[in-house]
Structure formats: structure tokens, C-alpha cells
């Protein structure tokens, strides 16, 4: 084996190792945001039960539970975007899936994640503006700064953008092995 073949092999192994680390990182982010969304769902159910108890049993409703449930649901929704994208659970139009042209399927396969990524960039940009713009506003019941609920938009979009990049990087492998495009775990 000559030295140029050995160096090419090392470069390919290093690229594969970097790609593997990237996919592990993306998978970890997905699992962490999914677990966080699940914890928030449990918190919403708990706040709802507490509110029902205080409203109907004690007959003295709490003022903060509805607001807490609302903000938790917003965070839960935006944290669950990325894991849903990874598993392909978002609504999709598969009009071009049965087309015999591999080039057209590949083009559409790249176009969808690129469009999602562009929308995520827009959400990050406008979400940061909205969050910073509401920095001094305070919520009426919980009395927290409104940057906390508004921060869910850019954070969730950022996590989704990371998953879009991982999906695009795994796309060629997915086409060759007939694995669904978002499944890189």
C-alpha cells in the first residue's frame, strides 16, 4: 500500500469519525429536547390538576396556573419541533415520492429541508427580535419577564436548524441505503 492510498484512507476515516460525532451530537440534542418537552407536558398536566383541585374543591382558584400552562405549552411545542423532524413526524406532501426520476426525488428531498432551514432562520431572526423587544414586559400573574416565553421561538428554531443540517448531511447515505431521510440514529 503506497503512502497516498494510506493518507486518503486516513482522511476518509477522519471524515467518517467527524460525521459520526456530529450525528451523535444531533441525536443527543434531539433526545434532550424531547425529554424536556415531556417534562413540560407532565408539568402542564400537574398544573391543570392543581388548578382543578383549587377551583372546585377549595373554591379558591390559583391565578398563576393558566399562565404557567400557556407558557409551558409554548416551550413544549418549540422543544418538540426538532425531535419530530428527526423522526419525520411533521406533516409532509409526498407528491414526488413515486416519481421514477431519481434526480427529481433527490431535488425535492434537498428542497424540503432547505426550505425548513430557511424558515428556521427566519424564526430565529424574528423570534430574537420579539424576545428582546419584550425584555421589560412582565407577565400579569407569574410576574416573570416576557423574554422567557418568547425565547422558546428562537431556541426551538435553532434546535430544529441543527437537525436540518444533520438531515442534509445524512441525505446521500439515506438515499443509497433506502433509510428514511431524517433517520440518522
Under 8 Å between Cβ of 75 and 40: yes
Q: What is the 3-state secondary structure (H, E, C) of 108-137?
A: HHHHHHHHHHHHHHHHHHHHHHHHHHCCCC
* Span 44-53, pLDDT tens digits: 999 999 999 9
Q: Phi/psi at 131 (nearest 5 deg)?
A: -65, -45
- 79, three cell numbers: 422543544
- Distance CA(131)–CA(115), nearest Å, equals 24
pLDDT higher than threshold 50 for residue 71: yes
Residue of higher predicted confidence among 1 and 36: 36
Q: Which residue ranges make up each domain of the chain?
A: 22-177
**Which pLDDT score is estimated for 177?**
43
Give the least confident one: 66-75, 97-106, 152-161, 175-184.
175-184
Give the least confident one: 10-19, 103-112, 176-185.
176-185
Work out the pLDDT band at 98, boundaries 50, 70, 90.
confident
Residue 93 is classified by DSSP as -
Q: What is the pTM of this model?
A: 0.78
Amino acid at each position: 500500500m503506497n503512502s497516498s492510498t494510506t493518507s486518503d484512507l486516513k482522511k476518509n476515516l477522519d471524515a467518517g469519525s467527524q460525521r459520526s460525532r456530529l450525528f451523535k451530537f444531533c441525536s443527543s440534542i434531539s433526545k434532550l429536547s424531547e425529554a424536556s418537552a415531556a417534562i413540560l407536558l407532565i408539568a402542564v398536566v400537574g398544573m391543570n390538576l392543581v388548578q382543578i383541585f383549587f377551583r372546585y374543591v377549595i373554591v379558591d382558584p390559583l391565578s398563576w396556573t393558566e399562565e404557567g400552562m400557556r407558557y409551558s405549552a409554548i416551550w413544549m411545542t418549540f422543544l418538540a419541533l426538532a425531535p419530530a423532524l428527526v423522526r419525520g413526524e411533521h406533516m409532509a406532501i409526498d407528491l414526488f415520492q413515486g416519481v421514477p426520476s431519481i434526480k427529481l426525488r433527490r431535488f425535492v428531498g434537498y428542497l424540503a429541508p432547505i426550505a425548513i432551514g430557511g424558515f428556521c432562520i427566519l424564526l430565529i431572526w424574528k423570534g430574537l427580535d420579539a424576545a428582546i423587544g419584550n425584555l421589560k414586559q412582565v407577565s400579569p400573574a407569574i410576574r416573570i419577564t416576557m423574554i422567557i416565553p418568547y425565547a422558546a421561538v428562537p431556541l426551538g428554531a435553532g434546535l430544529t436548524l441543527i437537525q436540518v443540517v444533520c438531515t442534509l448531511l445524512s441525505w446521500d447515505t439515506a438515499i443509497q441505503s433506502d433509510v428514511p431521510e431524517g433517520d440518522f440514529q
